[in-house]
Every structure is written in C-alpha cells, then in structure tokens.
Amino acid sequence: MVRNLTQGRPLKQILLFALPIFIGNIFQQLYSMVDNIIVGRTLGEFAFAGVGATTSLAFLIIGFVQGLTAGFAVKTSQYFGGHDEEKVKSSVATSMILCGVLTVVLTLVSVFTAMPILRLLRTPSDIIQYSYDYIVIVFAGLGATMLYNMVSSILRALGDSKIPLIFLVIASIINIGLDLLFIMVFKMGVAGAGWATVISQLISGVACLIYMFKKYEILRLSRRHFKMSVKFALAHLTIGLPMAIQYSIIAIGIMIQQFVINTFGTVYVSAFTAASKIDSLITQSLVAMGTSVATYVGQNFGAGEIKRIDKGVNQAMVVSVGLAIVTGLLAYFGSDLLTGLFIENPSSQMLDLSKQFLLWQGLFYICLAIIYVYRNALQGMGYSLITTVGGFIELGMRILTSFLFVKFWNYLGLCVSNPCTWLSVDILYLASYYLLMQFKYKKAYARNNIKIAERFAQVSKVKHA
C-alpha cells in the first residue's frame, strides 16, 4: 500500500512505516545469523569463526549496495512527494539501469579480490579457507542482493514498507530450509550456507519485482522512461554514490577492527563475531527508525513541508532514545543467552568476552540513535555529502581507536572504539541538521513574505482600477 507521509500526524506515520521495516530488518539479519548458528552448531567453532571473519568484508560490498539503492530511492521519494508521476517512473528506470551496470562491476571486483583481502586482514590460517568458501559464493550472487535492495528501496520510497517484509519473511524461511539441506544433507560445508543465502535472496527480489509492476500503476514503465539523460543519471548518482561510499567507509573501519581482532586468536574472533551479530540484531529498531525518517523526510522535502520535517525528526529522536535505553539493557542482561545460540556449550572465556563488548556498546546506544535519526534526515533532504564526511570521520576514529586503544588496553580498547566513533560523528550530524533547518526556516519565511507582498500588490491594483 502506498503511504503518503506528507499528511497525518508525523510520529504516527513514522512509526507505522517503521514497524514493517523493523520486522523486515530482523528477518534480514536472520540471513547471516542462521548461517552462523547452523554452521557453528554443525560444523564447529573453526567454521563458525571462518564465516564470522567475513562479516566486515561482506559489509564492505553489501553495504555499498544498500547505500547505493537507498540513495537512488531518495530521488524517487522526493518526486513522489512532489506528485511528479513521470519523474517517479524515470527515476525507477534510471535506478534499474545504474544498478545493473554497477552489479557487474562489483561482482567481478569482489570475487577476484576476496582471498587477497582475507589475507590482508590476517585471517587466521586455520579458518581462512572457511572464510573464502563462504564469502566467494555470496559475492558471486551479488546480483540477487542488488535486486532485492533496489526493489525494496523503491517500494519504501512510495511509502510501502509491508510488501518487502512479507517477501523477506518467506525468503528467510527458505534460507533456513536450504541451510539445513545443503549443510546437513548434501554436506556442502560453509559453501552451502552461502548458496542458501543467495538463492533465498534471489527469490525475495524476483517476487518483489513482479509484485511491484503488477500492483502499482505508477511503477509500470514504458520504453521512454529508460531513455536516461546524463543529467538525470548524475542527479541520482550524486546522492547514491556518496551514500554507498559512506557505507563502505564504515565497513573499512569495521575491517580494521576485524584486522585487530584476528591477531588475538580464534576464541577472540568467535566471541567478537557472536557479540557483533547480537549487537547488529538488537539495534534494528534504531535502524528501522532511521530508515523511516529518511523516507518521511524525502517525501516532505519534495512537498516543501519544512516545519513538518522538523516536527517528525524531533519526535522520532525522542522515541529512539527510549528504544536505545531498552536495547542497552537487553544487550547486557541477554548476552549469555544470545551468545549461546551461536556455539553449543561456549567456553566461559568466550561468554565473558562477548558480554564485555556488548556492555560497552549498550552504554552508548543513545549516541548510535542520534546517528541513525539525523544522518537519515540529512540523506532524505539530499545532503549526502555531509553524511559522506561523517563516514570519513567514522573511519578515522575507528582506525585511531582500534590501534591506539588496543595498544594500551588490549581487548577493552576494541570494545570502546565504537562508542568513541559514535560520539565524534554525533557532533557533525546534530550541528549540520539544526543549521540547515534554521536556514530552511528563514528561506521559507522570506518566500512567504514575498507571496504576501505580491498578493497585496495585486489587491492594490484591483482597488485602484
């Protein structure tokens, strides 16, 4: 169902839009989590650590895809908010062409550089083959990832967050079944987990695409919409590429953390993998709020509703603070139970290491909530250059803290590297958003005064006539 976010109570609209995204994000996390759980419980700790060691590398490429498709959809949401049906269709067609070209490039680059990067990250020799066997399959099937993220982003740009969820739930169930079939029956090892992920995501993407064209007339394209102009393509790339680069910059920072943790040994890699998966899972409510804010702001920015944007963003931030507090408590008190999902009978050392990491993350989830709300608000308005600068700040802080803090505090230094990074970019996003809002308010006020003056002049002419 298309949802017009330029009407109705802002917070209600944001929450109703965010709920399906939250549930969908949880199921999307299950793609990698189920792989890790089944691998850990059937193939052992070394295979589990091997698959887990690919997390940062996978995010480098898949994060680029997610940022790219989300960025293209910002333009679509702005045109939709401005009620320009022809530009909505042209935007969708342009996104498809650009995604197709970039999929070929990304697939070739990622497949042929997978092993060299794993070696560069100093992946332990006893798990590196597991890492490669898994990640090379995921990268080979990158087209399926691009397809799903592109279509779901387009649907969300129109306010439909429910249908991507439905197809994702179905795909997640298929993924679990294929994991069990490929690993336990066909004995395909970690490669089976990779194939299960690719096939299930392809099913989800194709189903969404068919539904999109059948359900929404506004998305039914003709040949003329695929006649892409350079100017129109650049308008999408100027938002999509900075957002994609921003995601990849963040991923490089995480790769630095992976590089550091790999030098600690396999038990640390396993604990860090489990804790990172738990952290990613339980913070999806914050991610969903941010995604919802991006679409909300995009539509309202296209409609010129500046006051409505500010009201919705402020209300979303209040809710996100509450979610961050609850999530932080869950991270600490549920760490042992959640870590036990990944490894059967985990050692006390692994549980302690996982709990220590989650404690430090949980204490600063409010800082993470600020990033998701204000970064997505800026992206929704099209200011992706600011968020790209934020990405570079994150990269610099992760590199600095990962090496400097670890030198003095060992594993504890790695645990506090994320909170320090979040604090550093909070300042940029808060300052940028409120300065831009102040500028937009002044601009809107001046525009209203001009309109009033024009009307007054017209009335005066009529009276004199």
d(CA 308, CA 310): 5
pLDDT band at 159 (very low <50, low <70, confident <90, very high): confident
What tens digit of pLDDT does each residue of 12-54 get?
A: 999 998 998 888 888 777 666 776 778 888 888 788 888 878 8
463: pLDDT strictly greater than 80: no
452: pLDDT strictly greater than 50: no
Supply the angle between the helices 55-81 and 266-282 in degrees, to the nearest 10. Answer: 20
The amino acid at 204: S
Task: Count the Cβ atoms, other than its own, within 10 Å of residue 277.
Answer: 22
What tens digit of pLDDT does each residue of 163-175 get?
A: 888 888 888 889 8
> How confident is the model at residue 36, as a pLDDT?
74
What tens digit of pLDDT does each residue of 217-229 get?
A: 889 999 889 987 8
Distant-in-sequence, close-in-space partners of 263: CB < 8 Å, separation ≥ 6: 122
Say if residues 388 and 432 touch (Cβ distance below 8 Å): no
Strands (E), 345-425: none
Fill in the DSSP letter of residue 344: S
d(CA 33, CA 439): 44
d(CA 382, CA 71): 9
> How confident is the model at residue 228, as a pLDDT?
79
Mean pLDDT over each residue of the chain, to the nearest integer: 87
The amino acid at 294: A
277: pLDDT strictly greater than 70: yes
Q: How far is CA 199 from CA 7, 178, 196, 448, in A?
A: 39, 9, 5, 54
What tens digit of pLDDT does each residue of 81-126 get?
A: 888 999 999 999 999 999 999 999 999 999 999 999 999 988 988 8
What tens digit of pLDDT does each residue of 47-66 get?
A: 888 887 888 888 889 989 99
| Cβ burial 239-257 (10 Å sphere, 16+ → b, else e) | bbbbbbbbbbbbbbbbbbb
d(CA 186, CA 42): 13
The amino acid at 153: S
pLDDT band at 378 (very low <50, low <70, confident <90, very high): very high
This prediction has a pTM of 0.77
d(CA 391, CA 55): 18
d(CA 386, CA 256): 23
Distant-in-sequence, close-in-space partners of 112: CB < 8 Å, separation ≥ 6: none
Domain ranges (residues) in the chain: 10-464
| Cβ burial 105-118 (10 Å sphere, 16+ → b, else e) | ebbeebbeebbebb
Task: Count the Cβ atoms, other than its own, within 10 Å of residue 349.
Answer: 12
10 Å CB burial of residue 264 (0-12, 13-18, 19+) is: middle
> How confident is the model at residue 302, as a pLDDT?
87
| Residue with tokens 């995009």, as numbered in its chain | 298
441: pLDDT strictly greater than 80: no
pLDDT band at 462 (very low <50, low <70, confident <90, very high): very low
